[in-house]
Amino acid sequence: MAQWLDNAIFYEIYPQSFRDTNGDGIGDFQGIIEKLDYIKELGCNAIWLNPCFESPFGDAGYDVSDYYSAAPRYGTNEDLRRLFTEAHNRGMHVLLDLVPGHTSVEHPWFKESMKAEKNEFTDRYVWTDDVWEIPENMGHIGGISERNGACVVNFFSHQPALNYGFYKPEKSWQQSMEDEGPKATLEAMKDVMRFWLGMGCDGFRVDMAGSLVKNDEEGKGTIKLWQNVREFLNEEFPDAAMVSEWGEPDKSIQGGFHMDFLLHFGPSHYNDLFRCAEPYFSGRGKGDISAFVQKYMENYEKSEKKGLICIPSGNHDMDRLARRLHGDELKVAFAFLLSMPGAPFIYYGDEIGMRYVEGLKSVEGGYNRTGSRSPMQWDATTNAGFSSAPKEKLYIKQDESADRPTVEAQLADKDSLYYEVKKMIQIRQSTPALQSKGEITFVYAEKNAYPFAYIRKSGDDRILVIINPSEKEASFAGDFTVKEVLYSFGKEAEFADGKVTVSGGTAGFYRI
């Protein structure tokens, strides 16, 4: 089942910012097709495409108005089908971004549900019985329809929540998962999946996957819902891959997902690594990785050591790596990202160190996230090769620094971040122990200490990974016999007298 995930390395594409081929300032499907060879050459063999369906774009496409139609600004359904085909021709797979928890207020389902007369969409969304009855601990919209009731929302106020039922209904308007309305919603979402899988997509990254069933503190109802989806997929599309934005792999994998994302919010301590006042991967050496490792191991054990916890370089919802890490710090960070279990996800531009663009006006609901969504920087031509539109028409303002990184410049520099990432991907892909399902054991991850070391294992093959982001030399106790140095950035570690010593700003993969 979806065995291609075992050695998948994903490249996340924010379509509106990747490559514009028709000069309107917005990226498109044709632009992605033209850059598939670039993605493959880097070493990525899978793509996660952010939402590309019809939408008023109040939340960058996460507010869907038609699940069955590509957004015209990117192209047609036929263009999207061609993208799948062109990717497959290169041995690559494509995940679409599925948003099952809510739609736009402009979706025809919602417009029907707003009507006072009962119809098949009356229970498609979560409504209270009375406009004056405000749902507790939930956002809502009210007073916008002839229907008497307030509608629960997910996230922004223009994203009404689809109704999958309540695990523990407590009020008259809270339907159970077994009621007709919630069951119809689930079947409608299966139909959406069926449509796109039939068109050639290889599966879905599922937005807010853990949020569908309400009043579901332990996630039991939501797990049951996704198990139902998995049964449908196993029957009709057994190779369809499912990756969840959930942040609790013990629940998502039980629900039938193949992999789960570590989130930048919640208890994962992911932000301790790259996005806090003193990130662990900063050369200042003032970070702490111990809480991250402790939480990671909890999740690893809970998910039966399947190791399918994805750690992204970043995504459209968080600061770029290069906002807090610079120069060689980025290379050391990628040594970690590309040697952990689960499929690595590289956010477009992170492989060249694209920066967070400070001080941008919010675009399409981006707010502080807008600075991580700026157009890809390809070369030294107009608009860094992203678009032939006048720069004021670009979807988001670009990094205008004279030294902004570009693909062209990095390809010309053998010491660039791009080449280091490419080299590490090649090593990962030729070493099963370093791939998604290789086991992991942490050797050294002490509180407020450096370096960081762990062993990856597959069969009899054991790879010791040692990473020291700090500028200072560091050491730890350990008696290892190194058979082969697979990778070394900076000076190789020294192994002597039961002690391992590593120079500052280094990373290494050692077969033991």
pLDDT the model gives residue 2 = 85
pLDDT at 307 over 70: no
Cα-flanking dihedrals φ and ψ of residue 88, to 5°? -60, -35
pLDDT at 495 over 90: yes
Angle between helices 77-89 and 180-199 (to 10 degrees): 60
Burial of 343 (0-12, 13-18, 19+ CB in 10 A): buried
For residue 322, give the nearest of 370, 271, 348, 356 by alpha carbon.
356
| Residue % of the chain over a pLDDT of 70 | 100
Cα-flanking dihedrals φ and ψ of residue 481, to 5°? -110, 115
Angle at 209 between CA 67 and CA 74, to 5 degrees: 35
pLDDT bucket at 289, cuts 50 / 70 / 90: very high
| Three-state secondary-structure class, residue 53 | strand
CA atoms within 13 A on the CB side of 401: 12
Bridging pattern class, strands 241-244 and 259-261: parallel
Distance of CA 499 to the CA centre of its chain: 38
| Residue % of the chain over a pLDDT of 90 | 94
**Which CATH number applies to 102-161?**
3.90.400.10
Decide if 156 contacts 163 (C-beta within 8 A).
no
pLDDT the model gives residue 119 = 98
Tell me the two tokens of residue 326. 């610079």
Q: Please, what is the end-to-end C-alpha distance for the chain in angstroms?
A: 32
Q: Which residues, 6+ apart, have CB-to-CB distance to 473 below 8 Å?
A: 501, 502, 503, 504
Angle at 204 between CA 201 and CA 207, to 5 degrees: 145
**Which CATH number applies to 439-511?**
2.60.40.1180
Per the listing, tokens 């999946």 go with: 193
The amino acid present at 109, given as its one-letter code, is W
| Three-state secondary-structure class, residue 433 | helix
Q: Which residues, 6+ apart, have CB-to-CB distance to 502 below 8 Å?
A: 451, 466, 468, 473, 474, 475, 491, 493, 494, 508
pLDDT the model gives residue 445 = 98
Decide if 505 contacts 493 (C-beta within 8 A).
no
Using left for φ > 0, alpha for ψ between -120 and 50, and beta otherwise, residue 252 falls in: alpha
Question: Number of helices (H) and strands (E), helices first, in the chain?
Answer: 12, 20
CA atoms within 13 A on the CB side of 336: 23
CATH topology (fold) of 3-99+182-428 = TIM Barrel (3.20.20)
pLDDT the model gives residue 84 = 98
Q: Which residues, 6+ apart, have CB-to-CB distance to 483 below 8 Å?
A: 511, 512
- Taking the C-alpha atoms of residue 426 and residue 356, their distance in angstroms, rounded to an integer, is 27
- The domain limits of the chain are 3-99+182-428, 102-161, 439-511
- Taking the C-alpha atoms of residue 431 and residue 512, their distance in angstroms, rounded to an integer, is 13
pTM, entire model? 0.97
Q: What is the mean pLDDT of the chain?
A: 96
Per-residue model confidence as pLDDT tens digits over 216-240: 999 999 999 999 999 999 999 999 9
pLDDT the model gives residue 438 = 95
pLDDT the model gives residue 31 = 98
DSSP code string of 369-382: GGGGSPPP--SSSG
Cα-flanking dihedrals φ and ψ of residue 142, to 5°? -155, 165
